A and B are shown apart, each in its own frame.
Chain A
Amino acid sequence: MLEVISPGNIQELQAIIRRSDEYRNPYYLAGGTDLVLQIRSRRAEPDLLVELGKIETLKTIADCGENLIIGSMATFTDLVENQLICKKAPVLAEAAAQCAAPQVRNQGTIGGNIANASPAADLLPPLLALNAKLNLLSPQGRREVPVASILKGVGENYLKPLELIEKIKVPLQNGRGAFVKLGIRNSMVIARISTTLIINENETGLIERAAISLGAVAPTVVRIPEAEAVLNGKKPHVDLLKEAMEIVVNETKKYLGQRASAPYKIRAVRGVMAEAFFRIYPALMEGLADGI
């Protein structure tokens, strides 16, 4: 028997979370753009559906100084249209704008995108590059963890049963950023390869913090710390960017191994990385693009 509950606020939800051990296979239902299809194909067989759409506080987006606090029920459209996100974490808005088509953007949520843990989820590369954290709520109370720490594998996460992603805490982007994804068609493709690049420079023009993340090359979205380390503390120069790109490509090769799609994906990674660097350093990258 399937039970359905639509709590009206967080207190009502907490009462349900406390009873989570009464269910074998409880699920949250956010926008449903992943879960409805999983239920229909019996890839998900819930005995409890907790529908989150009636909890207004999960839809808010707020500015808390150092961080933006995004409710897990904010939709792709909310992210695209929100002025705070567009100004203070523009790579996230950029990624949301390139997801799916208007219908799915109006319905799909950031919480669902994270929990669904697809290696091709478009909001994960920007969230990882921004060092975003999750505020989680479970029978044991609240905890705060980095987004990457709940990603387990393809479509799998480390959340406990009925552990709720309540809010996403996103540090301000500050520096320049680029989200680039390669798909066959712009609107409906679930990203084949996507990347987020963020570069923060200090007053003297040295790279203070570089963040590079890649989607769809490994079982989860990943950061490439080896390439970031090469950039950190250096003055941007075309040879430096080339070196960083080569490291990204080499790390990708390790992840992809002998998969049939590897040769294609390696070229694709080179392409999206070149585009991302070009977007941040157009003058330095001029001319290099032809050689990719």
Chain B
Amino acid sequence: MEYELNFTVNGKKISLQVGKTERLLDILRNRLNLTGAKESCGEGECGACSIILNGKLVNSCLVIAPQVQGGVVETIEGLSCKEAALLQEAFVKTGAIQCGFCTPALIMAAKDLLSRNSNPDKKEIREQIAGNLCRCTGYEKIVLAIEYGARELRNDREGVNSEKPIYLDRQGSGSS
């Protein structure tokens, strides 16, 4: 307990005593009980700890307390109900979740992309999730999930009812 950290997490101002080189990942998980960000590699390679800091997607295992001072952090727990529901549903419906360990980070990566580009193509999605490893799914379904989630979010914004679900567009790749 040596460093007073003031920052905003999911819209809430927070003041905490933390270690000077304590990682944001540990602050979120151990002190704030926000366990959506996961630790896997701890070295910036896997993306399981992805969160949004000051509007940018970063790996929270590579960020320490002084870098967060006065900053704004968004985690999976802070998604709006609508966003969370639609993106989660997209992942479930496309079969993009197996063990689920990588999912919160992938949804944050998706949110980050969709905040800049509401209608990304497959290539843009692949580039966005290049730093998020998944041991289970093989990525095809994750790309599909983000495509589907993006469409649902656009439709929701425009008040349109979805037509045929995207996860059935490609033969054999959908599960329901």
A interface, CB within 8 angstroms of B: 2, 4, 6, 29, 31-33, 36-37, 39-40, 49, 51, 53-54, 77, 100-104, 106-107, 186-188
From B28-36, B62-70, B73-81, B162-170, the one touching the partner chain is B62-70
How distant is B43 from chain A, measured CB to nearest CB, in Å? 6
Contact A32 B62 (CB under 8 A): yes
What residues of chain A lie closer than 8 Å to B63, measured between beta carbons? 32, 36, 107
How distant is A30 from chain B, measured CB to nearest CB, in Å? 9
Contact A101 B21 (CB under 8 A): no
Contact B130 A101 (CB under 8 A): yes
Contact B62 A77 (CB under 8 A): no
User: Closest chain A residue to B54 by CB distance?
Assistant: A53
17 A-B pairs with C-beta separation under 8 A? A2-B20, A4-B3, A6-B69, A29-B66, A36-B21, A36-B61, A54-B69, A101-B47, A101-B132, A103-B44, A103-B47, A103-B57, A106-B58, A107-B58, A187-B130, A187-B131, A188-B130
Q: Please pick, from B42, B45, B130, the residue contacting A102 in the complex, using a CB distance under 8 A.
A: B130
Other than the given A29-B66, A32-B63, A102-B130, 19 more pairs (CB < 8 A) read A2-B20, A6-B66, A32-B64, A36-B21, A36-B61, A36-B62, A36-B63, A37-B62, A49-B66, A54-B69, A101-B47, A101-B130, A102-B127, A103-B44, A106-B56, A107-B59, A186-B130, A187-B130, A188-B131
User: Closest chain A residue to B132 by CB distance?
Assistant: A101
Contact B20 A4 (CB under 8 A): yes
Cα A6 to Cα B68 with chains together (Å):
11
SS class of chain B's interface: helix, strand, loop or mixed?
mixed
Contact A100 B64 (CB under 8 A): no
User: Closest chain A residue to B64 by CB distance?
Assistant: A36
How distant is B155 from chain A, measured CB to nearest CB, in Å? 26
User: Closest chain A residue to B56 by CB distance?
Assistant: A106
What residues of chain A lie closer than 8 Å to B70, measured between beta carbons? 54
Q: Please pick, from B3, B21, B42, B50, the residue contacting A103 in the complex, using a CB distance under 8 A.
A: B50
Determine which residue in B20, B64, B127 has the highest number of CB atoms from chain A within 10 A of its CB, and name it. B64
Cα A22 to Cα B128 with chains together (Å):
44
Cα A180 to Cα B63 with chains together (Å):
30
Contact B44 A33 (CB under 8 A): yes
Contact A104 B131 (CB under 8 A): yes
Q: Please pick, from A4, A40, A100, the residue contacting B66 in the complex, using a CB distance under 8 A.
A: A4
Contact A32 B47 (CB under 8 A): no
Count of A-B residue pairs with CB < 8 Å: 79
Contact A37 B43 (CB under 8 A): yes
Cα A137 to Cα B50 with chains together (Å):
34
Cα A107 to Cα B71 with chains together (Å):
14
User: Closest chain B residue to A5 by CB distance?
Assistant: B66
User: Closest chain B residue to A33 by CB distance?
Assistant: B62
User: Closest chain B residue to A100 by CB distance?
Assistant: B131
Contact A39 B21 (CB under 8 A): yes
Cβ of B109 under 8 Å from chain A = yes
What residues of chain B lie closer than 8 Å to A31, measured between beta carbons? 62
User: Closest chain B residue to A106 by CB distance?
Assistant: B56
How distant is B113 from chain A, measured CB to nearest CB, in Å? 9
How distant is B129 from chain A, measured CB to nearest CB, in Å? 8
Instruction: Tell me the residues in window 11-35 of chain B with beta carbons closer than 8 Å to chain A beta carbons.
Output: 20-21, 23
Contact B59 A103 (CB under 8 A): yes
* 1/0 contact string of B1-13 vs chain A (CB within 8 Å): 0010000000000
What residues of chain A lie closer than 8 Å to B64, measured between beta carbons? 29, 32, 36, 39
What residues of chain A lie closer than 8 Å to B127, measured between beta carbons? 102
Cα A277 to Cα B32 with chains together (Å):
54
9 nearest A-B residue pairs (beta carbon) = A101-B131, A187-B130, A106-B56, A51-B66, A101-B130, A103-B59, A107-B58, A103-B131, A4-B66
What residues of chain B lie closer than 8 Å to A53, measured between beta carbons? 66-67
Cα A102 to Cα B130 with chains together (Å):
7
Contact B131 A32 (CB under 8 A): no
What residues of chain B lie closer than 8 Å to A40, measured between beta carbons? 21, 42
Determine which residue in A4, A6, A103, A107 has the highest number of CB atoms from chain B within 10 A of its CB, and name it. A103
